[in-house]
Amino acid sequence: MDINYEKRIFGLDIMRAVAILLVVFSHAIWILPQSKSLLTDLMSLAGVMGVEIFFVLSGFLIGRILYKLYVREDFNFKDIQYFWIRRWFRTLPNYYLILIVNIVLALFLGTDLPEHLGRYFLFLQNFTTEMPSFFGESWSLPIEEFAYIIGPLFLYLILFLRIKVSKRAMFLFVTLLVIAIFIITKCVYNSNDTIKDMVFWNVNLKAMTIYRIDAIYYGVLAAWLSMVFPKNWSRFKWLFLMIGGVIFVGMNIMITLKQIFIESHSFFWNVLYLPLNSIAIAFTLPLLSSIRSAAKPMLIPVTYISVISYSMYLLHYSVVLRLMKQYFPSEGLSKFGTMSYVLIYFLLTIVLSYILYRLFERPMMDIRDKESIKQRFDHRS
């Protein structure tokens, strides 16, 4: 696999690699004997944090792209179209391919398909309703896709108001507006919430699009800060890292020590917990975005995992682990057998994801760089 290491930011590859490994690790809980322990609690937290890292990192990357486009004098709707086309060639082909694979597997294995299967093709499977168990890990993708649509549209429409403020200020306003809107939706959820239970919270708040789009925009806000205040972004990177660590570690320690459970502290869990996680992650970006490279023994494996992370996300659970569990059940294995099973699960996920990336994901992404696409959507080409 040809990788141009000079064009990559290794610190962000670390984030992406850590995120996908946390998610893959968390789903290994399906392999372990059914019991609740500190390990299973940590695995569940790992999965939550992995996806939250993806959200913030995605927001940071698209935020920098959008900001550069937006502040240009000749910014227009074609810029937004070109932005969408590039994002969709990155995300949609893989998603639809693995969605079809999941449908075929369900038919082959004789498992039920969701009643509203068509919603998956429009990223509406968890827009305002509970996410079905079918292709369950796809819950995060509608959040990202709608985030890609909402922000750019707001940025474009606000230009028609002819407000006499700088584009820099308008970009910040739109970013904060989106965050505020989806904080408000969480407040509405909290005021109407009658079932105070973490299992219910997990599928009806954490994994529902109308409550989660702000998760992307903490990354967009970080992107704005990095572009507008680059000196402070770099100068205080260690301080920001410490603040992020204090928020994350302090919050989770307090949850345990003060027994801040959803049954008695629903506002904290419904409104504050997820945004505070996102903010803590965003505080790591100044340092991580400054790490340009590393020694080859670390650089190569981390970058490879980062590059194939999207394919890993789509394949690891509903395809790889599902088929393993179907044909090679893990129940009753010895400790050594269980560890071997987990190792095979990781290795299969990486190998199959590499193949998917090389044969499908990368060729689909290359289409967006074709001259015909640029001429149609990029008015500067």
Domain ranges of the chain: 5-377
How far apart CA 381 and CA 377 sit, in angstroms, is 9
Class of residue 165 by CB neighbours under 10 A (exposed 0-12, middle 13-18, buried 19+): exposed
Q: Which residues does 153 contact at the CB level (< 8 Å), separation at least 6? A: 80
Cα-Cα-Cα-Cα torsion 328, 313, 143, 55, nearest 10 degrees, comes to 130
What is the predicted pLDDT for the residue at 378?
66
Tell me the whole-structure pTM to 2 decimals.
Answer: 0.95
What is the predicted pLDDT for the residue at 162?
79
Digit-coded pLDDT (tens) for 50-60? 999 999 999 99
- What are 236's two structure tokens? 């205080």
Under-70 pLDDT residues of the chain? 35, 378-381
Q: What are phi and psi of 112, to 5 degrees?
A: -75, 140
Q: What are the angstrom distances between the C-alpha of 82 and each of 7, 65, 93, 373?
A: 21, 11, 17, 9
What is the predicted pLDDT for the residue at 214?
98
